[in-house]
Amino acid sequence: MAAKREPTFRESVDLMFNRAVALTDLSPGLEEKIRVCNATYTVRFGVRLRGQIHTFTGYRSVHSEHMEPVKGGIRYSMGVNQDEVEALAALMTYKCAIVEVPFGGSKGGLHIDPREWEEHELEMITRRFAYELIKRDLINPAQNVPAPDMGTGEREMAWIADQYKRMATTDINYRACVTGKPVNGGGIQGRTEATGRGVQYALREFFRHPEDVAAARLSGTLDGKRVVVQGLGNVGYHAAKFLSEEDGCKVTAIIERDGALMCDTGLDVEAVRGWIARHGGVDGYPDGRYVRDGSKVLEEECDILIPAAMEGVINLENAERIKAPLIIEAANGPVTAGADDILRQKGAVIIPDMYANAGGVTVSYFEWVKNLSHIRFGRIGRRQEEARHELIVKELERLNRGLGDAWEMSPDFKQKYLRGAGELELVRSGLDDTMRAGYQAMREVWRTRQDVDGLRVAAYLVAIDRVALSYQSKGL
């Protein structure tokens, strides 16, 4: 039997979109308008490094401008190509719609292995790439706002912001041209861990619905659940850390580039991360069993599988052997369209990428708003909030004295209650609220429509509906 061809990443996203859009009554014209990628800009630029000119290829793809600015990260990887950035830009459109972040979808990428270059070289390359995008308004606070993605972080975002400032010297809102900046360079607290935190909040919300938990053939709470995580980068690390330290999950396997670590009683995520930083991989870590073929570990027994590395890792080849009853897509596109069919038939529940990893862009939105308002969240109201709480506590204490000190307020309560919320608390509260609301919107569709078999189709339906409404309100 001829092996079924695996579609490309973009085809895979389109296939899943088509499956969902077939359940709507949108006109074929609007359907097509939402599906297609509006534009992809390709740039090849030279940078003189190590005595010679090196040419790099970069992309910025704009999938949908139903809302502006458009938003999405910039990825540095050897896997970057037009198909990939277009797939990722489309996912950004749907992602922003699900979490009600008022942006269109975009994505950028540079075909580069960042580990091959020194920091000062990366700075020159990044500034040059940014220059090419800025002069075409493909980086601009009102039109297109990048963020970190695979292979980039706050360092690159700081270079981009500075480059923009040099070129747009009179733009008072220059800081809003990019998100994911360092906190002392116009960033916001809680952005670095936001995507991992969002994965945690998504799982917490999922486990608040026993019916949904039962659909995944699981029961109870997150406490004691066995988690396998693929990729201990920014997203996987934070998700695994928070789930194990705060929710009682056991991280029974960590899959990395050079192999996997396994431990039935649970791995210490922080210690493994430290080991990778010192040794460049997981091999040799003393408190776990090392398995060279990491991809096999995706197929291990567990309760929750968190692919947090890259696209296409669960595909036609291995989907049949995946045993996890619950998969949460912390990466973008880790499950191909074909694998999605197989897993659904097997009864697995998949919490889809466009919702599961939307914590990053949600906090990016908060950062952008902070940059445009030129003030830190909580700066104006915090002490006022504390003063009002103080008033209540004082009054209660006065009444209590009248009752002969009948009861006592615990010092812990008093301390917690009196503290007004700072930026980090507000960011977390906004992210938590967003992840709850996003899940509820998807599950409502999943649970009430007979023709919807899974959260991914439900997610697409919610997103398509919102994007369509936005186009329709423009008279399209």
- Cα–Cα distance for residue pair 174/195, rounded to 1 Å: 24
In a 3-state reduction of DSSP, which class is residue 269? helix
Q: Is 107 a catalytic residue?
A: yes
Amino acid (one-letter) located at 389: H
Helix, strand, coil % in the chain, rounded to nearest 5:
50, 15, 35
Length of the chain: 476
Q: Which of 4, 33, 71, 107 is catalytic?
A: 107
Please name the residues in contact with 186: beta carbons below 8 A apart, sequence gap of 6 or more. 161, 175, 367, 371
354 in Cβ contact with 376 (< 8 Å): no
In the complex, the residues that contact ligand GLU under the rule CB under 6 A are: 71-73, 147, 149, 179, 332, 357, 360-361, 364
432 class by beta-carbon count within 10 Å (0-12 exposed, 13-18 middle, 19+ buried): middle
74 in Cβ contact with 152 (< 8 Å): yes
Beta strand extents in 146-288 (DSSP E only): 226-230, 250-256, 259-262
The rounded Cα 28 to chain-centroid distance in angstroms is 31
User: Which residue from 70, 90, 66 is spatially nearest to 332, judged by alpha carbons?
Assistant: 90
CB of 144 to ligand GLU, least distance (A): 10
Work out the number of other CB atoms within 10 angstroms of the CB of residue 258: 15
> Among all chains, which residue has been given the structure tokens 């949600």?
362
Provide the annotated active-site residues. Answer: 107
